[in-house]
Every structure is written in C-alpha cells, then in structure tokens.
C-alpha cells in the first residue's frame, strides 16, 4: 500500500483532477474490505464474538444517559420523560437498521466514516469522520464528568467522605478540575492497550454489573410508584418532549460501537448486524422502564438540581442508605464501562482515517505484541481525559448529540446510495421497508437536530469549519487516494 503521508508529486494544471472530482473520489467497497485489519507495522487481531460485540455496544451506550442525563431531561419533559426516551430510541432504531445493513456489507473499523467513503466520496467521509470524533471523543469526556457524581455518592455512603468540589467539578461549576473524570479515563486506557480480547472480557463484566444494577432499581423503585406523579403527563407541552428527546439522544450514542470493531470480529458479516440490533433493543427497554419507574417514584419537579437521582430514589423508597450505596456502586461501574467502550470506538475510527491518509499515520500504527493501535489509544485517552477534567457535562452532551445525529443522517443516505449503485452486493442484513426506513431515519435525525439550542449549532458550525480547514490543508493532499492519483499521473507522464 502506498504511504499515506508520502508527498504528492506536482502535476501540470491540465493533468490535475478537477477539484470537484477530488472531493468526490470514492474508495471502492472491495478495497475497504481488502485493507481491513491492516495497519502500520502490523494487523489488528480478529478475536471478538457476537456476544462480545453486543456487550461492546451495550457498554458504550448504557450508562450516563440513564444515570445522569435523566436528571437533566426530566425537568424539561416532566413525567413524559419516558416518552422522550421512546422518541430518541425510534430515531436511533431507524439509523440502527441502516448501520446493520452497511456493517454486514462493509465490515471495517471506520463505521459510518468508511460507509460514506464508499458511497458519497472523500469530502463527505471526512465530514462524517470529523462528526464521529465529536461523537466518540467528546462523549467520553461528557460521560466521565458524570462518573464523579456517583463516585462521590458511593464514597459518602461507605466512608462518609466526598471529594471536595474544588477537585470534582470543572471551572464554571464551582471547581478547578474534575479529577475523577481524568482518573476514570486513565484507568480505561490501561486496559485498552492490553488487547481487544482482554478489553472485551473486562467490558463484559462491567456490562453485566450495570444491567443487574438497573434491574434492581426497577424492582425496588416500582414499589415506590405513586400514580399521582404521572399527572399531568406533559405539563410543559408536547414540544418539551421533543426538546428532552434531543437531549436524551445522547443516551443512545454508542449503539454503533460494534461497527467500529469490524476488523476485530471473528465473523463480522454475520455478527455485526445482530450485535447492533440486539444491543439497541436491550438498551431501549431498560431506559424506558427505568425512566417510567423513576418519575413514578419521585415527583418530576424534584429532579431539578438533583445529582445521582436514581440513588436518591432508592434511598427514599427503602428508607435505608444501603440500597442507594448499591445503586451508586453499580453506576460507578456502569459509567466507567461507557468510557471504556467509547474510547475503544474512537481509537478504531481514527485508525481507519489514518490508514486512509486523512490524519497522521501514527494513529494507524499497530503494536505487534498486543495487536492494538497503542500510540493512538494513549493520545486519545490523554486528550479526552483533559477535556473531561475541564468542561461541564451539559455543554458536552449537546455538542455530542448534534455531531452524532449528523453522522447518523449520513448513514441513512449511504445505505440508499449503496443499495441503488450496488444492488447485487452480498448483504447479510437488509433494511426493512426500503427506502422508507432510511428516509424516516434521516428525517428523524434532522428533526432532533433542529430541536437543539442555537448555541449548540454555533459550536457545531465552529467544529465543522475547523474540520474543513484541516481537510483542505492536510487530508485532501495526503489521502491514500490522492497519492495514488499522483503516482498514476507521474507514471503516465514518464511513458
């Protein structure tokens, strides 16, 4: 393979590809698949089963959305917050179906970035990859911020001490640095650099703990439900439910994590679609049940300003602090598993982008001993740890949601394009009711994006401008397709 970082040979103006053609150049599906697993200096190891892929997606999804963001969304939607979870889940479902089809057809690490490269061209692929960096990298920081809240709840219930706000909250929220957020990211880094198989085992254990914890909450919280807490169902109006759904979409970020493991799955064409759909089903059911029980057990007005709301409900229902401590312990493990799984996904997306030459090739360097992109992992974890230690949760959650919704919208477009351009391609999973389902997925994503506040759009616009600057100054000239074009023109000229 050509070196992605090789200098491009200058071409006569008449022989240079037109700018529009360069921006729209696509990477054939066959080439994407053929390059799968190959990195700089080694190859990723295929060691993940369908069950481990499912646990990876659940691990990346199930956590902060229900343990932390629920407390922020309930004052917006009122008792109808569980309906907001359904709306956000439907949006995720339509996109999940498109993800499942593309993951079975193009089983590579780049997720929607690679799907866009094969269908809509390099510029759109870069935009999608840039959105995925926002989705995965920034969401890790947002999730890690929430981890500290439950850690303090656990410490208070067990040893009667908490981490001072000065070291458990970022600037702007009463502190100087969120030290717990930094610590959880660094702990995850230690496990991630050991190898995909070892990481999957750790993740599966953590996922099991948090599922048991949430089921325990549902059972105990159900005993504290008061019917009057559900009325009126939507005191702040139907539009408030949509606004809450836009925020809660953050809770579903990560179900596509299995698609980032396409080059480490044992049987990707069969297992990736199954893992994506199964993980989303499990997560959605748990979210809706927990939200329904939570607003039934505690008046929705009481969620305002309440940190670790689920632990508080456990204590109120049982009258004993023991159960709130159990819930807090489960939340600490649950949120840590989200950080763990999302960090994994981020490193694999950067691995694919680096292999294509759009970012420096150091991100595609594979450690021969562990079969993982070790340097990539360290860089990502340090960056996300610093971000988590210094930025408030709310700002991170909204910024992450808009980037994810944009990437999901592109996936729905990609599945339509590939179905029409490559109708005979072998597909282990097909979207039902095509093309209605991907069109609905695109429209749902657009609607929830529209519901996000103006400041979020401003942040997103600034992020996209920065990404385009990087692409035009670096990626467009150094991509593997660009260097191949330059080599081909040079060979033709020499003849």
* 42-68 per-position pLDDT tens digit: 667 778 889 999 999 998 888 767 877
Checking if the pLDDT of 138 tops 60, the result is: yes
- For 385, the token pair is 């740890």
79 within a domain of the structure (yes/no): yes
Q: How high is the pLDDT of residue 37?
A: 63
The verdict on residue 385 lying in a domain is yes
| Domain membership flag for residue 9 | no
Residue 19: which pLDDT band, with cuts at 50, 70 and 90?
low
Q: Is the dihedral of CA 303, 401, 387, 146 positive or negative?
A: positive
* Average pLDDT for the chain: 84
Tokens 């809450």 — which residue? 244
**Domain housing 457:** 40-482
Spell out the residues 6+ positions from residue 389 whose beta carbon is closer than 8 angstroms to its own: 170, 177, 178, 179, 181, 182
Does 25 reside within a domain?
A: no
Does any domain span residue 27? no
Instruction: Answer yes or no: are the C-beta atoms of 163 and 126 closer than 8 Å.
Output: no
Beta-strand relationship, 168-169 and 38-39: unpaired
Our count of domains for the chain comes to 1
For every residue of 159-186, DSSP letters joined together read TS----GGGEE-TTTT-SEEHHHHHHHH
Residue 137 pLDDT greater than 80, yes or no: no
Length of the chain, in residues: 495
Residue 127 has pLDDT above 80, yes or no: yes
Return all residues near 305 (Cβ < 8 A) that are at least 6 apart.
Answer: none
Instruction: Return the CATH number at 44.
Output: 1.20.1740.10
| Per-residue model confidence as pLDDT tens digits over 277-315 | 999 999 999 999 999 999 999 999 988 876 668 888 888
What's the number of CA atoms in the CB half-sphere (13 Å) around residue 137?
Answer: 23
Residue-level pLDDT at 14: 40
Q: Partners of 365 in the beta sheet?
A: 40
Closest CA relative to residue 276, chosen from 413, 111, 400: 111
Round to whole Å and give the CA distance between 270 and 250.
28
- Confidence at residue 494, expressed as pLDDT on a 0 to 100 scale: 65
Q: Does the residue 13 lie in any domain?
A: no
Q: Sorting pLDDT into bands at 50, 70 and 90, what band is 16?
A: very low
For residue 341, tell me if it sits in a domain.
yes
**Residue 119 is assigned to a structural domain of this protein:** yes
Query: What is the rounded CA–CA span in Å between residue 6 and residue 234?
Result: 59
pLDDT band at 8 (very low <50, low <70, confident <90, very high): very low
Residue 371 to residues 47, 110, 195, Cα–Cα distance (Å): 10, 17, 6
The pLDDT, as a whole number, for residue 359 is: 92
Residue 10, pLDDT score: 40
Q: How confident is the model at residue 266 (pLDDT cuts 50, 70, 90)?
A: confident
Residues 232-253 have pLDDT tens digits of 998 888 889 988 888 888 788 7
Q: What is the pLDDT of residue 5?
A: 39
């Amino acid at each position: 393979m050509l070196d992605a970082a090789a200098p491009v040979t200058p071409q006569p103006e008449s022989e240079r590809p037109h700018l529009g053609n360069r921006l729209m150049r696509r990477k054939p599906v066959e080439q994407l698949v053929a390059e799968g697993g190959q990195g700089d200096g080694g190859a990723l190891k295929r060691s993940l089963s369908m069950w481990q892929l499912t646990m990876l997606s659940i691990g990346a999804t199930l956590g902060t959305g229900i343990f932390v963001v629920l407390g922020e969304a309930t004052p917006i939607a009122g008792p109808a917050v569980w309906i907001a979870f359904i709306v956000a889940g439907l949006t995720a479902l339509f996109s999940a179906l498109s993800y499942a089809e593309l993951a079975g057809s193009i089983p590579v690490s780049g997720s929607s970035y690679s799907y866009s490269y094969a269908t809509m061209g390099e510029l759109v692929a870069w935009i999608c990859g840039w959105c995925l960096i926002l989705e995965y990298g920034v969401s890790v920081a947002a999730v890690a911020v929430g981890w500290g809240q439950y850690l303090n709840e656990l410490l208070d219930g067990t040893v009667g001490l908490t981490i001072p706000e000065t070291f458990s909250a970022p600037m702007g929220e009463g502190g100087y640095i969120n030290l717990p957020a930094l610590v959880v990211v660094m702990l995850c880094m230690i496990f991630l650099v050991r190898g995909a198989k070892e990481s999957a085992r750790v993740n599966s254990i953590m996922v099991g703990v948090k599922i048991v914890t949430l089921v325990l909450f549902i059972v105990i919280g159900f005993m504290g439900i008061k019917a009057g807490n559900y009325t009126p169902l939507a005191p702040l109006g139907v539009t408030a439910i949509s606004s809450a759904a836009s925020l809660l979409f953050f809770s579903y970020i990560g179900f596509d994590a299995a698609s980032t493991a396409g080059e480490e799955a044992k049987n990707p064409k069969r297992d990736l679609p199954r893992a994506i759909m199964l993980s989303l089903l499990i997560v959605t059911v748990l979210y809706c049940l927990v939200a329904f029980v939570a607003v039934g057990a505690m008046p929705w007005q009481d969620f305002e300003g309440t940190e670790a709301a689920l632990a508080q409900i456990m204590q109120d229902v049982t009258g004993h602090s023991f159960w709130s401590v159990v819930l807090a312990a489960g939340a600490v493990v649950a949120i840590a598993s989200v950080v763990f799984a999302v960090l994994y996904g981020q490193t694999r997306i950067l691995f694919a982008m680096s292999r294509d030459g759009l970012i420096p090739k150091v991100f595609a360097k594979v450690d021969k001993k562990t079969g993982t992109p070790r340097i990539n992992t360290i860089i990502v974890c340090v960056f996300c740890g610093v971000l988590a230690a210094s930025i408030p949760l709310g700002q991170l959650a909204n910024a992450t949601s808009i980037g994810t919704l944009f990437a999901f919208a592109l996936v729905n477009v990609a599945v339509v394009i590939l179905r029409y351009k490559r109708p005979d391609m072998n597909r282990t999973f097909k979207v039902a009711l095509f093309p209605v389902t991907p069109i609905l997925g695109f429209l749902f994503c657009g609607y929830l994006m529209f519901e996000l506040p103006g400041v979020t759009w401003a942040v997103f616009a600034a992020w996209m401008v920065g990404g385009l600057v990087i692409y035009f100054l670096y990626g467009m000239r150094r991509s593997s397709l660009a260097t191949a074009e330059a080599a081909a023109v040079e060979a033709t000229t020499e003849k």
